[in-house]
Amino acid sequence: MGPIMLDVQDTSLTAEDKELLAHPLVGGCILFTRNYHSPQQMSALTQEIRTAAGDDILLAVDHEGGRVQRFREHFTAIPAMGKLCSLAKEDITRAKTLAQQYGLLMALEVQAVGIDISFAPVLDINGISEVIGDRAFHQQTDIIIPLAAAFIDGMKTAGMAATGKHFPGHGSVKEDSHIALPVDGRTFNEIAALDLKPFKAMLDDGALSALMPAHVIYPDVDKLGVGFSAVWLQKILRQTLAFDGVIFSDDLSMEGAAVIGGYVERAEAAQQAGCDMLLVCNNRAAAVEVIDNANISIDPSSSRRLGKLLKTNDTVWSGLMKDPRWQQASRFVADFL
């Protein structure tokens, strides 16, 4: 599987989409709201993408809930994870059950239209970040950890691998890395004592199959942003934390990546630092530039890791409502609310 994840333009493929998907460096495709019209259309599109790719390709979406839910009509409305405790009236046991059921519903529905993974859950704290906020489960790590574990359990019950983001934590820096370059001046020990704790807990439990690093610079650790830092990705994540899952870059088109240089430089730096798959989204010219000019390669270890994220079930949307797991979770959520 190639190391590039790109996007497509519309609800069906153009000739250029098909040409790019067939390129050997392309191993993934991320779907957005603009690509969705109905479950039936999305199912047809994902099959069209797999046919165009001509080989295994990883299909992904950001479908966390709340303001980050790409498909809405006909899909279960997933609340922002930061709302779970209040929905459960601060009863952590009920909040955990709710998290598990929403993780299950999300994963079943996303996979039923042919997509392998959702980039979820968010393991950041709900601190001062403008872009994280209630995408996080809570302000306190001792509440984030059990809720995230329950949500991941729901995903795994549906057969979906979990991707934790944004390693080692984006919640304690204010700026939005989509439009700025966040810098967090705390020491590593301070980060480890707070933001890193949910990630470490999930890694220690073997709950995560993939991670997505933050476009944040922590100068006490390295002058480079996490997604471009061999210190973070190789020394800390691979060696110290013993993580052998997939490392996705965050979108290389984001402003937080611009300090590295152009798109070619960003892609090369991310792969050299240790990212298995490089996201180049919402910028077709940048994706083409990276494919044509970047000195990147297909790495067998990365391909092995990525292959483990492909869905293994044959659930289709037309049969979803008959799935007893979906029926039970839907009833629970409806009765709960």
Is residue 180 over pLDDT 70? no
Task: Read off φ and ψ for residue 298, nearest 5 degrees.
Answer: -90, 115
CATH code (residue 316) = 3.20.20.300
Range of the domain at 196: 4-336
Average confidence (pLDDT) over 67-75: 96
Average confidence (pLDDT) over 69-74: 96
**What are the tens digits of pLDDT across the range 148-165?**
999 999 999 999 999 999
pLDDT at 159 (0 to 100): 96
Distance CA 164, CA 152 (A): 10
Any alpha helices (H) in 122-254, and if so which ranges? 141-158, 188-193, 196-204, 230
- Per-residue confidence at 11, pLDDT binned at 50, 70, 90? very high
Q: Is 250 one of the annotated active-site residues of the chain?
A: yes
Q: Please report, for residues 83, 118, 221, the alpha-carbon distance to residue 159 in angstroms, rounded to integers and kept in the order given.
A: 25, 12, 36
With a pLDDT cut of 90, the percent of the chain lying above it is 85
Q: Which residues are annotated as a binding site for substrate?
A: 62, 70, 135, 165-166
Q: Output 216 or 111, whichever has higher pLDDT.
A: 111
Is residue 331 over pLDDT 80? yes
Q: Output 172 or 18, whichever has higher pLDDT.
A: 18
Is residue 305 over pLDDT 70? yes
pLDDT at 177 (0 to 100): 52
Tokens 């990630």 label which residue?
199
Q: Which residues are annotated as a binding site?
A: 62, 70, 135, 165-166
Tokens 């979820």 label which residue?
120
Point out which residues pair with 164 in neighbouring strands.
211
Amino acid residing at 40: Q
Average confidence (pLDDT) over 17-37: 97
pLDDT at 252 (0 to 100): 87
Is residue 175 over pLDDT 90? no
The reply to whether omega before 23 is within 30° of 0 (cis) is: no
- Per-residue confidence at 13, pLDDT binned at 50, 70, 90? very high
pLDDT at 218 (0 to 100): 93
Q: How far is CA 111 from the centre of its chain?
A: 14
Average confidence (pLDDT) over 308-314: 93
Domain count, the chain: 1
pLDDT at 253 (0 to 100): 82
Is residue 174 over pLDDT 70? no
- For the chain, the average pLDDT equals 94
Contacts of 249 (CB under 8 A, 6+ apart): 212, 213, 227, 270, 275, 277, 278, 279
Amino acid residing at 326: W
**What are the tens digits of pLDDT across the range 280-300?**
999 999 999 999 999 999 999
Is residue 178 over pLDDT 80? no
Q: Is 244 one of the annotated active-site residues of the chain?
A: no
**What are the tens digits of pLDDT across the range 121-145?**
999 998 888 789 999 999 999 999 9
Catalytic residue (one of 116, 134, 250, 276): 250
Average confidence (pLDDT) over 7-31: 97
